[in-house]
Amino acid sequence: MSNKTRGILSFIMGIICSVGIQLSLVAVATEENSEIDFSNDLIVAVRTFYLSMRSSRLTLVLLAICLAVIIYQGSKILLEKWQCVVLMVFSAFFSFMQVIAISLKEDDSLEYVYGSGVNIIRSLFHGLCLAIVTYMVLKIVVVLIRRYCIQKALAPSKITWKNSLIMGGLFVIAWIPYYILFFPGTANVDTVVQLMQSFEIPSYINKITTIHPPETYYTNHHPFATTMLFELFFKLGLNVFGDINIGVAIYVFLHMLFLAAVFTVALQYLRHIGITKKRLLFIQLVIMFLPIFPMYAICMVKDTLFSAFLLLLMIMMYEIARTNGECFKKWWFDLFLALDCVLIMLTKNYGMYIIIIVAVVYAIVYRKYILQVLASFVPIILVYQFLWISVLLPLWNVAPVGKQEALSVPFQQTARYVSEYGEEVTEEEKEAINGVLPYDKLKKLYEPMLSDWVKEKFNQDATSEDMSRYFSAWWKMFLKHPDVYIESILNNTYEYWYIDKISDLEYYEFEPYLQKHDPDKQYEELYVTNNYNTGGERFAVYQLILMLEKTPVVNIFASLGLLPWLILFMIIFNIFQKRGKYILTYLVPVIIYAICMVSPDNGNSRYIMPVIFALPYLIALFFRPISDEEIQFNEQINSKTNDKN
């Protein structure tokens, strides 16, 4: 194909794709916005498409030109056929999921995807145009990464205590202004509930466990180890300084030092394996000055501890791949790996499942070192489950996690079914549901993006027979309307993969949950409060972070819905580069997102915090050549690409 013909076709495709991408999927021709004959389907369809098109002429022209250039350049790039197929599938899947997310965002259903003939055509057109552009962009990105982003050579540097102290010190210095502005720190409801447990104040959390006050106030709903850690500083502030705020301030400052140390260790590892100084500096600056990182540093919440320990695990997983498992021969590596895994399990209840999956995968992949792998993982898993969970917590009268935490998905599906098809529920099914959930309240409790309100009403006294009857009814209802169950899952998870989701990634105050539930100010000495005079400045920081989510390039580190696609692309590119063994580095992020697919809260940034923590490092490792052979491999590919073009 001549360049002239390619240019003309690209310009035409640019116009078509600019219309398709900008097409609204939710505009509807109604009597309120037009005077037409609604009995004529063709007229309604044409009117609907007209209303779906954007009217910003300049924006559309500029977009069409940009897309034409992208399509022109992308069409010139010749990758291997199997790589093109993989990128096509990725692009189609990505676009399809974005279309679904738009419909769910607007209507809590897939109405705008297949609710009518017009909706089907419109969503297909939008998705197809988005897929074409995405495919072309990915081809260009693959070539750009190979040519300009992957390091041309490894540059290992010596690690010194001086460098480490300087790195860590710079992190803390950059975060201090946030510490002052948000003094004594920030926290979410979970932390305040943990505070209430420490001082025997009942909260909603005590109602969703099998043991209730006054028998016990402690629960493992929020990991008991973190409750004890927070309690230490709460009581330090009260008993030593006479002010709980000082205890929180001390914890937050030490927490800043801890995160600075973890980020420094990870940076020094990158230095050790040859990441260039410029790239190390870039990571340092991102973590110092991108507000989401200092905001996490001053936050008193269990998830930051969990995320830091997972970051260290991912770094060790990369080292295992880099050394082909040889590092398992070092006793200190195995010991540090085991210790880190223990801390992961103690700071998040589902941490054990992450460790089990990692252990199984590594036992299979690194069979050569099976004894070392088993020694690193199996004992700590057994001790955690059979000593910590089964013996020590009951001994200390800590209430276990309620069964409902593992049943968020089916409970939410039941609530949605009752809301949409309540008239079809039989008496037998109603009775079965009532044994587990309050049937008559489900329609009111149901919220498409949050299952907490439903699962918190779980009958803690439900027997195994009650559960069996419930799941029998659940299955019968599924067979009648499977689409309800599918929409329920999608509606409760789409913000984790919708790239236009704007998220409150941080907390901007120490949640006043206790103040709201203490009208008589009986527990006033336990109130943790931020400085009232800095409220305006704190709000300004909040707005700044929301602005960053709308800023190109920068929002890579702040877009909750973009992250899974970025991780998936990294995995695909590693396959392209024949780096199969390094794919396991992304196992933890994949598990995190899999857990999000069954989580109770749609788009909760806490749940993907480990991925945010690890992202700067994963990107640097992604651009690191695994050997001199890969450097030569890239040069050969780039040479062939230049010859073909």
Mean pLDDT of all residues in 343-356:
96
| pLDDT at residue 507, as a whole number | 83
pLDDT of 212 reads: 75
**Confidence label for 544 from pLDDT (cuts 50, 70 and 90):** confident
Comparing CA positions, the residue from 251, 354, 236 lying closest to residue 301 is 251
Residue 626 CA to residue 321 CA, distance in Å, equals 10
Residue 602 has which token pair? 């749609």
Question: Would you state the structure tokens that stand for residue 87, as one six-digit string?
Answer: 């990128």
Higher model confidence: residue 35 or residue 413? 413
Domain boundaries, the chain: 3-149, 174-398+505-559+606-621, 403-459+461-491
Radius of gyration of the chain (CA): 27
On the question of a cis peptide bond just before residue 291, with omega within 30 degrees of 0, the verdict is no
Residue 543: pLDDT band (50, 70, 90) is confident
pLDDT (0 to 100) of residue 628: 63
- Per-residue pLDDT at 290 exceeds 70: yes
Query: Which pLDDT belongs to residue 583?
Result: 94
Higher-scoring residue by pLDDT: 630, 159: 159
pLDDT of res. 481 = 95
Q: Give the pLDDT score at 37.
A: 66
How confident is the model over 615-626, as a mean pLDDT?
90
Task: Please determine, for residue 553, whether its predicted confidence score (pLDDT) is greater than 80.
Answer: no
Highest mean pLDDT: which of 50-64, 208-222, 287-301, 523-537? 287-301
Q: What is the sign, positive or negative, of the torsion defined by CA atoms of 339, 342, 343, 344?
A: positive
Q: Which band of pLDDT confidence, cut at 50, 70 and 90, is reported for residue 551?
A: confident
Q: pLDDT at position 213, please?
A: 76
Distance between the two ends of the chain, CA-based, in angstroms? 11
Of 51, 54, 133, 119, the closest CA to residue 91 belongs to 133
Question: How confident is the model over 558-579, as pLDDT tens digits?
Answer: 778 899 999 999 999 999 988 8
Cα 210 from chain centroid? 30
What does the pLDDT read at residue 638? Answer: 59
Side chain identity, residue 213: P
**Could you tell me which of 268, 138, 159, 260 has the C-alpha nearest to residue 617?**
268
- For the chain, the average pLDDT equals 91
Q: Tell me the C-alpha distance between 74 and 136, whole Å.
A: 5
Q: Look at residue 359 and tell me whether its pLDDT is greater than 60.
A: yes
Closest to 83 (Cα-Cα) out of 577, 545, 576:
576
Q: Give residue 190's pLDDT band: very low, low, confident or very high (50, 70, 90).
A: very high
- Rounded average pLDDT over 363-372: 95
Of 309-318, 397-406, 529-538, the range with the lowest mean pLDDT is 529-538
Q: Is the pLDDT of residue 65 over 80?
A: yes
- pLDDT score of 637: 61
Q: Per-residue pLDDT averaged across 629-642, rounded?
A: 60
Percent of the chain with pLDDT over 70: 95
- Among 223, 295, 194, which residue's Cα sits nearest to residue 513? 194
Residue 520 confidence (pLDDT) above 60? yes
Q: Which residues contact 624 (CB under 8 A, 6 or more apart)?
A: 150, 151, 154, 273, 274, 275
pLDDT at 31: 57
How many CB atoms lie under 10 A from the CB of residue 153? 9
The CA distance from 236 to 243, in Å, is 9
- 217: closest CA among 199, 191, 190, 238? 199
Q: Which tokens in the block code for residue 637? A: 């590919």
Per-residue confidence band for 402, with pLDDT thresholds at 50, 70 and 90: confident
Cα 332 to Cα 395: distance, rounded to the nearest angstrom: 33
**Angstrom distance (rounded) from CA 135 to CA 467:** 47
Residue showing tokens 């439900």: 462
Q: Which two tokens stand for residue 203?
A: 């909260």
Dihedral sign of CA atoms 56, 57, 62, 65 in order = positive
Beta-bridge partners for 219: 399
Higher pLDDT, 497 or 555: 497
Cβ(414)–Cβ(438) below 8 Å: no
Residue carrying structure tokens 């001199």 = 628
Asked if 445 and 415 count as a contact pair (C-beta separation under 8 A), the reply is yes
pLDDT in tens, 72-88: 999 999 999 999 999 99
Q: Return the closest-CA partner of residue 200 out of 213, 209, 189, 183.
A: 213
* Residue 399 φ/ψ, nearest 5 degrees: -65, 140
Give residues with Cβ within 8 angstroms of 549, minimum separation 6.
502, 503, 505, 555, 558, 559
d(CA 559, CA 577): 26
Q: Answer whether residue 253 shows pLDDT above 70.
A: yes
Q: Are 112 and 102 in contact (CB under 8 A)?
A: yes
Lowest mean pLDDT among 11-15, 51-55, 292-296: 51-55
pLDDT tens across 99-139, in order? 999 999 999 999 999 888 889 999 999 999 999 999 999 99
**Residue 554 pLDDT grade (very low, low, confident, very high; cuts 50, 70, 90):** confident
409: which 2 tokens?
């998905």
Give 89-96 contacts, CB < 8 A, sequence gap 24+.
90/134, 90/138, 90/568, 90/569, 90/572, 91/131, 91/132, 91/134, 91/135, 91/138, 92/127, 92/131, 94/130, 94/131, 94/134, 94/565, 95/127, 95/128, 95/130, 95/131, 95/134, 96/127, 96/131
Which residues make Cβ contacts (< 8 Å) with residue 307, sequence separation at least 6?
296, 609, 610, 612, 613
For residue 450, what are the β-bridge partners?
447, 601
19 closest CA partner among 135, 126, 120: 126
- Per-residue confidence (pLDDT) for residue 38, from 0 to 100: 65
Q: Sorting pLDDT into bands at 50, 70 and 90, what band is 216?
A: confident
Q: DSSP code of 391? A: I
% of residues, the chain, pLDDT over 90: 73
| DSSP codes joined into one string, 233-259 | HHHHIIIIIS-HHHHHHHHHHHHHHHH
Across 1-8, average pLDDT: 88
Rounded to whole angstroms, the Cα distance separating 211 from 192 reads: 20
- Mean pLDDT over residues 501-505, rounded? 71
Q: What is the mean pLDDT of residues 431-451?
A: 94
Question: What is the reported pLDDT for 640?
Answer: 59
SS3 561: coil
Give the Cα separation of 366 and 371 in Å (integer): 10
Longest dimension (CA), the chain: 81
